[in-house]
Amino acid sequence: MAGELSPIDRAKFVAAKRAADMVEDGMRVGLGTGSTAAWLVRCLGEMVQNDGLRIKGVPTSSRTAELAREVGIEIQTLDEAKWLDLTIDGADEFDRDLNLIKGGGGALLQEKIVATASDRMVVIADKAKEVESLGAFPLPVEVIPFGWQTTQALLEETLVAMEVMGRKTTLRMNGDAALVTDEGNHILDLHLNRIGNVRQMALVLNQIPGVVENGLFIDICDTVVVGYGDGKVEVRDINEGTVETDQLDFVETENLFTDLND
């Protein structure tokens, strides 16, 4: 229940709850992946069950699709939906220009496709995800399995000429084996510490043979909803240049918010 959450989970919960209020009846909504996005799916499920909200969700991973079904959200593929009114997702980092690093949950490819097929992207995050410069969180790069070590070597060679503070790259693992994404690819995590020019980095990485997509989301996010452990929420709109502050009260809920693990 919301009242029993840790401060970090309360921050995620209030951000998700505030973003859920942006969803209107009849919308086609992109559903993100990750711990904060999972709270959003739970909130929307509660609105579907208790308030009669009618939406069609397009999940960005098999995990999100499974959760959406569990809470009663009707889901579609992106091909079926064609275009979305809104995508709500989390982020591993965001800066003051609402540029993002995403992909900590391994779903960056589908997340980026869904986000760019939407009229609007809203990011939900706790305050700790805000940074002065992107790069402290390892930057995920999705690569095809064929020749991934060659792709890794090309990435490391490319980073020598880039404005970064670190150049270590690692293959993301799932136990003793390489992680396999929903699209059958691998992920290389780039430990850059700080990225001086995010636009240049995003463009250069995608020119390397074997790279499918990178986790830099540039000029994609329109609004970020920042949650705090005391229930405060900030809504920052990059297009309008506005910042709104709300205070959400915690209320007892049913099992919709219990046993949520990500």
Active centre residues (catalytic): 111
d(CA 87, CA 21): 13
Residue pair 47/27 in contact (Cβ under 8 Å)? The answer is: no
To the question of whether residue 33 is assigned a binding role by annotation, the answer is: yes
Report the DSSP pairing between strands 186-191 and 168-171: antiparallel
To the question of whether residue 90 is assigned a binding role by annotation, the answer is: yes
According to DSSP, residue 183 is labeled T
Residue pair 186/179 in contact (Cβ under 8 Å)? The answer is: yes
86: left (phi over 0), alpha (psi -120 to 50) or beta: beta
To the question of whether residue 119 is assigned a binding role by annotation, the answer is: no
To the question of whether residue 103 is assigned a binding role by annotation, the answer is: yes
To the question of whether residue 129 is assigned a binding role by annotation, the answer is: yes
To the question of whether residue 135 is assigned a binding role by annotation, the answer is: no
Residue pair 57/76 in contact (Cβ under 8 Å)? The answer is: yes
To the question of whether residue 215 is assigned a binding role by annotation, the answer is: no
E strand map for the chain: 28-31, 56-59, 74-75, 86-89, 93-94, 100-101, 121-126, 139-143, 168-171, 173-174, 177-178, 186-191, 211-214, 216-217, 223-227, 232-237, 242-247
d(CA 65, CA 117): 18
To the question of whether residue 242 is assigned a binding role by annotation, the answer is: no
To the question of whether residue 158 is assigned a binding role by annotation, the answer is: no
Residues in binding site for substrate: 33-36, 89-92, 102-105, 129
- Can you say which residues are annotated as belonging to the binding site? 33-36, 89-92, 102-105, 129
